[in-house]
């Protein structure tokens, strides 16, 4: 199962990803991103938590201006 880091304020995206069966980790600080296959950030305050500087092999996806379905489709396409 892929592990997805997600910011706390992205509840609609969190729900959609849970329904798809992804393991979710709440991003409270940059250490939370370690070990995640992908991180979804709000994009409101770009890199405010240092997620982009965190040591992770996964990609960082900005949810700014995008729907939960769009984010889910992008994540699904990266792991299929």
What six digits make up the tokens of 55?
Answer: 């040591």
Q: Is the dihedral of CA 4, 12, 79, 53 positive or negative?
A: negative
- pLDDT for position 53: 52
Place of tokens 């900005």: 62
- pLDDT for position 20: 94
Task: Look up the pTM and report it.
Answer: 0.82
The CATH code of domain 3-79 reads 3.40.50
- pLDDT for position 45: 59
Per-position pLDDT tens, the chain of length 80: 899 999 999 999 999 999 999 999 999 887 888 889 999 998 765 554 555 554 556 788 999 999 999 999 999 999 88
In degrees and rounded to multiples of 5, residue 40 shows phi and psi of -115, 120
In 3D, which of 42, 44, 80 has the Cα closest to residue 60? 42
> What residue ranges do the domains of the chain occupy?
3-79
């Amino acid at each position: 199962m892929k592990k997805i880091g997600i910011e706390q304020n992205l509840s609609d995206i969190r729900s959609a990803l849970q329904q798809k069966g992804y393991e979710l980790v709440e991003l409270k600080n940059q250490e939370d991103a370690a070990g995640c296959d992908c991180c979804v950030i709000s994009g409101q305050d770009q890199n405010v938590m240092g997620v982009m500087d965190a040591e992770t092999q996964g990609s960082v996806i900005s949810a700014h201006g995008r729907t939960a379905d769009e984010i889910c489709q992008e994540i699904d396409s990266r792991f299929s």
